[in-house]
């Protein structure tokens, strides 16, 4: 039996109606940012939005997720691939890690090919600061295409 890791997922409020299918699929298949859990079983203990800029729900959501046992909080891929990407993502990550002593991972499901293509054309992620933000969700070409 594998050890269990409890996680929470915070999505961008622009996608508040998202059913979470890509995040949950990637969690189940351990793809994208969930590939770090190959020998670990996962339990989702929270799924919510940031509540819109500038992230009014981050404090409450983080506290609730940690109370429910979360050891890792994922900031969903939508925060990276949206137009524009979340301007508060680093602030959210720093706050959650410091306030709740929890690991924060940027990303959930692999970046869909259509978003990678568009952001490449726009030059969104050319700044070196973006490389560690998108790395967990890059996956290979075939997997990215399957998330379109």
Quick: pLDDT tens for 44-79.
Answer: 999 999 999 999 999 999 999 999 999 999 999 999
Instruction: State whether residue 72 is helix, strand or coil.
Output: strand
> Structure tokens of 40?
């670990």
Decide if pLDDT at 109 tops 90.
Answer: yes
Q: Give me the residue spans of the domains in the chain.
A: 4-146
- Across the chain, which distance is largest between two alpha carbons, in Å? 45
Confidence of residue 133 (pLDDT cuts 50, 70, 90): very high
Q: Which residue matches tokens 């339990």?
A: 43
- The mean pLDDT of 31-44, rounded to a whole number, is 96
Condensed to tens digits (0 to 9), the pLDDT of residues 1-24 reads 789 999 999 999 999 999 999 999
- Alpha carbons within 13 angstroms on the beta-carbon side of residue 15 total 24
How high is the pLDDT of residue 73? Answer: 98
Report the DSSP pairing between strands 103-106 and 41-49. unpaired
Fold of 4-146: Rossmann fold (3.40.50)
Whether a cis peptide bond, with omega within 30° of 0, leads into 44 is no
| Confidence bin at 91 (pLDDT 50/70/90) | very high
**How many Cβ atoms from other residues are within 10 Å of residue 135's Cβ?**
11
Three-state DSSP class for residue 4: strand
Whether 139 has a pLDDT exceeding 90, the answer reads no
Instruction: Round to whole Å and give the CA distance between 54 and 43.
Output: 28
């Amino acid at each position: 039996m594998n050890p269990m890791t409890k996680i929470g997922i915070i999505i961008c409020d622009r996608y508040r109606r998202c059913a979470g299918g890509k995040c949950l699929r990637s969690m189940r298949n351990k793809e994208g940012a969930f590939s770090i859990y190959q020998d670990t079983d996962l339990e989702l203990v929270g799924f919510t939005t940031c509540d819109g800029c500038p992230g009014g729900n981050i404090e409450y959501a983080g506290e609730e997720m940690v109370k429910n046992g979360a050891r890792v909080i994922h900031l969903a891929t939508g925060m990276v691939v949206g137009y524009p990407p979340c301007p508060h993502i680093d602030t959210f990550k720093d706050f959650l890690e410091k306030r709740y002593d929890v690991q924060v991972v940027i990303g959930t499901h692999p970046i869909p090919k259509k978003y990678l293509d568009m952001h490449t054309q726009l030059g969104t992620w050319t700044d070196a600061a973006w490389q560690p933000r998108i790395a967990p969700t890059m996956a290979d070409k075939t997997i990215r295409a399957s998330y379109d």
